[in-house]
Amino acid sequence: MLVLGFIAKDLSVYVRENVSMSVVVDDQMKLPDLKMFQKRLEASPYVKSAQFIDKETALKQLVEELGENPKDLLGYNPLLASFDVYLNADYANTDSMEKFEKVLKQNKDVQDVIYRKDLIHLINENVKRISIVLLALALLLTIISFSLIRNTVRLLIYSKRFLIRTMQLVGANGNFIRKPFLLENLWSGIFAALVAMGLLYGSLSYVEQKMARTIQILDIQTLAFVFVAMLVFGIIIISLATWLAVNRYLKMNTSDLYYV
């Protein structure tokens, strides 16, 4: 679930950084002014990149999309020069884009700012929904994992409940009794985490080969974080399950041990 979460995050960043704003500028702007304006755009914290589209290039793109040339009908090119502005992911939301739009329109050479508000809103809403679903699934799977591991550990310790009682009768305290059980299951948790890491790495390698050049999954830092999380959660879950199981039998009377 952590891997899916990181992939969803990377995809959302990729999508948001590829949603552009079209900044339409005055036809009378000279080339030096256009270059200066582009530099100011690229220096803005909002902007990841800015690309200038002249009138002729805009006309070619329109002809490719429509299959017709409006210049043949009107006798002139009706399109204006513009900049395709791509925002940083943190600013690719409706509030930030509205603020940036106001800043751009303060420039007298900017004729209009065009972008899809509905598309931006839809992208951010879908990212929120995906995050909530992944979080809910992660919590559910954690609860299921803990329940399965706890039941397995309880069965293991159940077979040694009389040994625990014998140790109590000869004067062993709770910490002394718990220690061997905790250490034994701790190594089991570490071994299980290592096996899970191997299986996860193999699965991700296979998926990345099938989706070559589509998405990068095997990022070193991401994998390191996920593997550490798997190891830590494996140790915590099995240690907690062992602690609870041993404590259960430590608190029982001798007569009760025969009926559990």
d(CA 2, CA 18): 24
Predicted local confidence at residue 260, as pLDDT:
65
Q: What is the domain range of residue 166? A: 138-258
Residue 12: closest CA among 83, 85, 98, 88: 88
Last residue of some domain: 63, 80, 115? 115
Last residue of some domain: 81, 115, 149? 115
Predicted local confidence at residue 158, as pLDDT:
82
State whether 163 and 80 are in the same domain.
no
State whether 64 and 105 are in the same domain.
yes
State whether 147 and 251 are in the same domain.
yes
Q: What is the CATH number of the domain that holds 109?
A: 3.30.70.3040
Say if 28 falls within a structural domain.
Answer: yes
Predicted local confidence at residue 195, as pLDDT:
92
Mean pLDDT by 10 residues, the chain (260 residues): 78 80 82 86 88 79 71 69 85 85 86 82 81 87 86 83 83 85 88 90 81 61 86 88 84 71
State whether 145 and 243 are in the same domain.
yes
Predicted local confidence at residue 78, as pLDDT:
65
d(CA 225, CA 69): 54
Residue 242: closest CA among 176, 185, 168, 174: 185
Predicted local confidence at residue 259, as pLDDT:
67
Count of domains observed in the chain: 2
Last residue of some domain: 54, 84, 115? 115
State whether 153 and 246 are in the same domain.
yes
Here the tokens at position 7 are 């992939």
Neighbours of 58 (CB within 10 A): 19
Say if 7 falls within a structural domain.
Answer: no
State whether 206 and 143 are in the same domain.
yes
State whether 161 and 254 are in the same domain.
yes
pTM: 0.62
d(CA 28, CA 152): 77
Say if 123 falls within a structural domain.
Answer: no
Is 164 buried (19+), middle (13-18) or exposed (0-12) by CB count in 10 A?
buried
State whether 164 and 205 are in the same domain.
yes
Say if 12 falls within a structural domain.
Answer: no
Say if 129 falls within a structural domain.
Answer: no
State whether 111 and 26 are in the same domain.
yes
Say if 97 falls within a structural domain.
Answer: yes
State whether 151 and 71 are in the same domain.
no
